[in-house]
Each structure stands twice: as C-alpha cells, then as structure tokens.
Chain A
Amino acid sequence: MSLLAVSNLTKRYRRGGKTIAAVDDVSFHVDPGETLALAGPSGSGKSTIARLVLRLIEPDDGRIEFESDDFLALRRAALRARRARLQMVFQDPLAAFNPRATVARVLDDPLRIHGIASRAERPRRIAALLERVGLTADLAPRAIHEISGGQRQRVAIARAIATKPSLIVLDEAVSALDVSVRGEILELLLDLQRQEKIAYLFISHDLGVIRSIAHRVILLDAGRVAENGDARTVIDAPQSAIGKALVAAAPRLNRAGP
C-alpha cells in the first residue's frame, strides 16, 4: 500500500489569453520510507506538484490519496490536523521563516498546534529536536536571521520532523547551500530516513544528488511525466529526450558510483 498516491493530477494557469497546464495529468506514488525524486528543467512543474501535494494550492483535476485517505476531501480542522503527517522543507531557509521568529518559536509552533507536548514539556522537546538535527540546544533563543544558512536548514528540518510526519516534501532543499554543507544535510536526511522511516518527495535539478539519495526518479517536461524508474537506471541510461538532455547538461555526474 503506498503512502502517497497521486493520479491524473492537473493544474492549469491562465497566462495572457491562453491557458497553460503547469501540471498535466501526472500520476505517481511514494511508498513508506522511500525517496522519490522529481527532476526536470525549470518551469516543468516540480514546485507546482509540491504545492498541490501539500494542499497549498488546489488542483483542477486528479486525486491525491495520502495514508489511504482522500487527501483532497479533507477540509479545515481535519486538514490542519492531518498536516502533521505531511511536512515540507523549502529551498530558501531564510524566506521559510517569519523574519521576527526565534529558533525556539519556530519549533514551538508545531508542538503546540498539534498538542504534541505540554507547555512545560516543550522546551525539552525543542532541545531534543535541535540535537536530533545536529545542533546544540543553546541555539534556541537565537533569532532566525542570526544563525547560518546551514543551521537554518537544519532548523527547518527539525520543524518538519517535530510532528513525526510520514512524508516530507523537499523543494530544492539543498540547492541554496554550499557544497560541504549540502553533503552534511543530505547525510542528516538519510539518517532520519533510516531511523524514522520517513518518505521523501525530493525535488532537485541536481541529478548527482538525486542519484545518491533517491530510490526512484520521475523526470518532468512541461508538466508531464517524461520518464520514471529506478534513480540510477534512469540517470545512467535515460531513454527520453529530456532525460538525455538533463544528463548531458549535468556537470561532473559521478556515473561510476557505488
């Protein structure tokens, strides 16, 4: 039974006089504890799919089944409660937080909203979350804009795992980080997946990263699925035109790999 099953998902935008389909009849599924990568050129609809899956925008057509429920049928309080299980990490960790927030407040919010810990218990939970993502508890009182980009993305991951989700959507979550930090964050994501059995919908334009952490990959082109399959198989020998173009354009793709 898959954790997330998306079928015939379609989202159209009106631009000028024309209607364009940003996402066009896309179907895929994510199994528990699995990483599914979405790749494709800029404007191919990756972020739109992420926003649809998270119910930040509503589709024009299609079905989303999450944890065996019709996710699109959830409304208001029921939807907000279910959001605990489906989290997101954004590309720009500075833009993803209220500029006035502190680290503690950012982590306090999900714990409070979903009643995960009592007020008295929360500071300990926050410290534990920070330690889980490789930070120290003394970071808690700091303002979000006072910590480094890498630390911020760790805080974003801590917030995402605070509610014990079964699926995290990561939209270019490591793209803004420099190479050494990127490696550490990917390590952390792999470790979390091993320990907590979290599934990832991992959006990236970096085929090297996808090859190293994803189980399966879907290549998108102009809102449609161009190719999908085992991550290494697809990246090592793409069949579609867009797959070949993406691989050809990828710098120092380590095809030898383990």
Chain B
Amino acid sequence: MSALRRFLRTPEAVAGAILLAVLIAMALSASLLFPGDPQAIAGPALLPPFQDWSLPLGTDRLGRDVLAELFHGARTSLAVGLAAAAAALVVGAVVGTLAGFAGGLVDEVLMRITDAFQTVPSFLLALAFVSVVGPSLGVVAIALGTWTGPARVARAEVLSIRERDYVAGARVIGMHPLAIAFREVLPNALPPVLAMSSVIVAAAILTEAALSFLGLGDPNRVTWGGMISEGRAVLRTAPFLSIVPGIALVLTVLGVYLAGEGIVETTAVRRGLS
C-alpha cells in the first residue's frame, strides 16, 4: 500500500490536509478575490455578518471588509509561520550537526547556547527581540525561540550516525570534515528533525498571532492576531470581530498539526516495514 493511500485512510490526516488546502487557497487567492488594500474602508462601520452580501462577514470598527482581512491574514499567517519554521529547522539542523559531529569544546559551547535559549520561554524571547529590533523582523523573532528543539534532535541523531562505518570511510578517502558533516551525515539525520516541522509551524503561526495581538506584528500587513486585538475593543457589541479570526486561527493550527502528523505517521510506518 502506498504512503498516499495510507494517508488518505487516516481521517484526521485528511481533515488536516483539507483545512490546510483551504488555508493555502485563501492565501493564494487573497489578492485576486480582494484586490487593493484590505485595510481600506469598504462600507459602514460594524456591519454584522450575513447582512450585506457584498460584505458577507460584515465590517470592523473602521468599516473594513472582514472577509478581505481574513483572506489577507491567511497569507500573513502562512508566510510568517512557514518562514519562521523553515529558519528554525535550518538553524537547528546546522547547529545540531556541528555540535554532534565536532564534539568536544564546539559541542559544549553550542549546547550551552542552546540551553540558554531553551530556558527562556520562546514567546518571551520573541517579545524581547521584537521590542528591541522592531516588528519588521518578526520571522527571526519567532525562529529564535523554536530552533532549539530541532538542534537537540539533530545532534542526537548525528551522534549515532557519526560512529557508522561510512563516516569512517569518508574520512579515509580524505573528505573534508565539513563536507562529511553536511553532505554525508546531515541528510541522514534529517528525517526525525523534519518530523517536528508540523508542531513548529503550528507554534510559529500562534506566536505570530500573539505578537500581532500585542500590537508587535508587522503594521503594514493584516494579521489575524491584529484582527482579534482590534475586535477586543468592541467585544460585547460585535463579538464576531474577534470570533471569526479566532476560529480561523484554531482551524489553521489544527490543520497544520493534523496534516503534519499524518505525513510523519504514514512515512514512519513505511520505514518500519522496509
């Protein structure tokens, strides 16, 4: 049975994949369906949902189209979440590989740095970074708190791989240690690191939303966190302004997580069988 078939047989995975597909479709179609500035005023302020079919989800306090904001927000969530997760995975894999492969003092220093980053809660780290550097480097801020997990997993994997004969073989033919680390060892250490990506992407999306909620997101982009934060001021009279982006956020994180776990599960089974 192919991995795809097995994936399709797992209902959670399929649900996750559908949620993710919808999110990606929203992100990609945002500027087609809602061209122009999503932050421009589109109608009367605080129009409730399902009243005016040209503004299906109504408008916010300033009269901006909530549906357009939702679509453009999907784009921000996805872009920032994926970029931050990718940065965290790359940095983590590289640091973990260097530490595990070099051993000795290099390992000691890199792992103490990793410890230091890990002891500070990742959200606090992101918050501190953004407050100092500004919201334009949100991706870096989010990655800052999440690369330590991949680094530890990569290091553990590299420690076992570096004892294999083929690494000795690479040394015997005179390969440079950095080439051995990154060409021979790292690719074989990646599977368990990549298996963490769904959790990391989900966490990155949440962190981005939380930063935006606190007003530390990119001010030039619509974000779901920002929408929730704006809606808070009129929570009693117009709760939908917070609820709609809130639901979008929950579904997105759920979708990423379920689809990711589904992929890991089905490929892990395949590895176990072969």
Contacts and interface: CB of A to CB of B under 8 A. Distances in A.
A81 interface: yes
A14 interface: no
Nearest to A56: B168
Contacts of A99: 166, 188
- Identify whether the interface residues of B are mostly helix, strand, loop, or mixed: helix
Interface string A173-216: 00000000000000000000000000000000000000000000
Contacts, number: 56
A110 B179 CA distance: 13
Interface residues of B, number: 15
A96 interface: yes
Contacts of B165: 90, 92, 95-96
A113 to B, nearest CB: 5
A83 B175 CA distance: 10
Contact of B188 (A84, A98, A109, A162): A98
A12 interface: no
A97 interface: yes
Interface string A71-106: 000000000110110111010100111111000000
Most A-side CB within 10 Å, residue of B165, B171, B187: B165
A159 B166 contact: no
A4 B151 CA distance: 42
Contacts of A35: none
A163 B166 contact: no
A113 B174 CA distance: 7
Contacts of B176: 80, 113
A111 B165 CA distance: 20
Contacts of A80: 174-176
A162 B174 CA distance: 12
A9 to B, nearest CB: 18
A124 interface: no
B172 A88 contact: yes
B5 interface: no
B188 A96 contact: no
Contacts of A51: 168
B148 to A, nearest CB: 27
B218 interface: no
B188 A100 contact: yes
Contacts of A56: 168, 171-172
B174 A110 contact: yes
B230 interface: no
A110 B173 contact: yes
Interface string B153-176: 000000000001110111111111
Interface of A: 51, 54, 56, 80-81, 83-84, 86-88, 90, 92, 95-100, 109-110, 113-114, 159, 162-163
Given A80-B174, A98-B184, 13 more contacts: A51-B168, A54-B172, A56-B168, A81-B174, A83-B171, A95-B166, A97-B166, A99-B166, A113-B173, A159-B173, A162-B173, A163-B173, A163-B174
6 contacts: A80-B175, A83-B171, A95-B165, A100-B188, A110-B174, A113-B176
